[in-house]
């Protein structure tokens, strides 16, 4: 496993290029996010998604697509004008919005409901990494099975799945906080999970 120290507020170009190259080859990265460490892969890399499924200890796992901004949202999800306005008002920030997936989303990422999560992080490092990749990335909170805790400390945490990670971007200790998850179904809001983002405006 490669390891690189990253500065989350002012990331170095060389570090971004190194991580992007690993993802381009179908690798899995462990990255500091805006709410927790994240497991990440390129959206079209089947082998990387299969490796994420092994880490998460499930045949299929719901993943979020992380964008730099909203310019490519309509390519990967079906979104109405009202839903777009809600998302634009809330992101970037600690929210995951669930929308109906478009045909651009690989079937291996989808469960029965054919939905995906949408994220835009409040993180210069992640936004610049996505730009370096040239397309959105897929992410999941860094942890294995449901009984295992979240990865938070690159100096001390050694989960069983760490050997499946191809590159670790060390951004220092980062206590895990979860995003608030909001499902957008037509004009209705469903609060799926309470997390860091306040949900008063969705109730």
- When pLDDT is averaged across residues 129-158 and rounded to a whole number, the result is 86
Buried b (16+ CB within 10 A) or exposed e, 49-71: bebbbebbeeeebbbbbbbbeee
Q: Calculate the CA 49 to chain-centre distance.
A: 12
Residue 151 has pLDDT above 60, yes or no: yes
- When pLDDT is averaged across residues 45-54 and rounded to a whole number, the result is 88
The pLDDT of residue 105 is: 85
Residue 46 has pLDDT above 50, yes or no: yes
- When pLDDT is averaged across residues 49-67 and rounded to a whole number, the result is 82
Instruction: Tell me the three state secondary structure of residue 49.
Output: helix
Q: From 25, 41, 35, 39, select the one nearest 137 (Cα to Cα).
A: 41
The pLDDT of residue 135 is: 92
Terminal-to-terminal C-alpha distance of the chain: 44
Instruction: Tell me the three state secondary structure of residue 200.
Output: helix
Average pLDDT over the chain, rounded to an integer = 90
Give dist(CA 159, CA 65) in Å, integer.
24
Give dist(CA 84, CA 98) in Å, integer.
12
The pLDDT of residue 148 is: 59
Q: Is the dihedral of CA 130, 21, 19, 12 positive or negative?
A: negative
The pLDDT of residue 9 is: 92
- When pLDDT is averaged across residues 103-110 and rounded to a whole number, the result is 79
Instruction: Tell me the three state secondary structure of residue 201.
Output: helix
Give dist(CA 40, CA 42) in Å, integer.
7
Whole-model pTM: value is 0.91
Q: From 177, 155, 15, select the one nearest 96 (Cα to Cα).
A: 177
Q: How confident is the model at residue 185 (pLDDT cuts 50, 70, 90)?
A: confident
> Contact at 8 Å (CB) between 1 and 167?
yes
Residue 203 has pLDDT above 70, yes or no: no
High-pLDDT (> 70) share of the chain, %: 94
Q: How confident is the model at residue 58 (pLDDT cuts 50, 70, 90)?
A: low
Q: For residue range 109-136, list pLDDT tens digits in order.
A: 776 678 999 999 999 999 999 999 999 9
Domain 2-145+159-197: give its CATH code.
3.90.870.10
The pLDDT of residue 147 is: 46
């Amino acid at each position: 496993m490669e390891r690189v120290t990253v500065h989350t507020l002012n990331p170095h170009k060389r570090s971004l290029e190194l991580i992007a190259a690993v993802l381009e080859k179908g690798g899995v990265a462990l990255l500091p996010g805006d709410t927790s460490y994240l497991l990440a892969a390129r959206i079209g890399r089947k082998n990387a998604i299969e490796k994420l499924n092994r880490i998460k200890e499930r045949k299929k796992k719901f993943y979020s697509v992380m964008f730099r901004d909203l310019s490519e949202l309509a390519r990967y999800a079906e979104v109405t004008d009202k839903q777009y306005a809600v998302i634009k008002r809330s992101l970037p920030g600690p929210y995951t919005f669930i929308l109906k997936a478009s045909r651009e989303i690989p079937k291996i990422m989808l469960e029965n409901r054919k939905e995906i999560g949408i994220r835009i992080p409040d993180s210069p490092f992640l936004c610049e990494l996505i730009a370096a990749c040239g397309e959105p990335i897929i992410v999941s909170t860094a942890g294995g099975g449901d009984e295992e805790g979240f990865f938070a400390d690159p100096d001390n945490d050694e989960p069983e799945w760490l050997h499946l990670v191809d590159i670790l971007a060390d951004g220092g200790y980062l206590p895990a906080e979860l995003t608030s998850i909001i499902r957008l179904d037509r004009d209705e809001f469903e609060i799926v999970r309470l997390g860091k983002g306040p949900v008063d405006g969705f109730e």
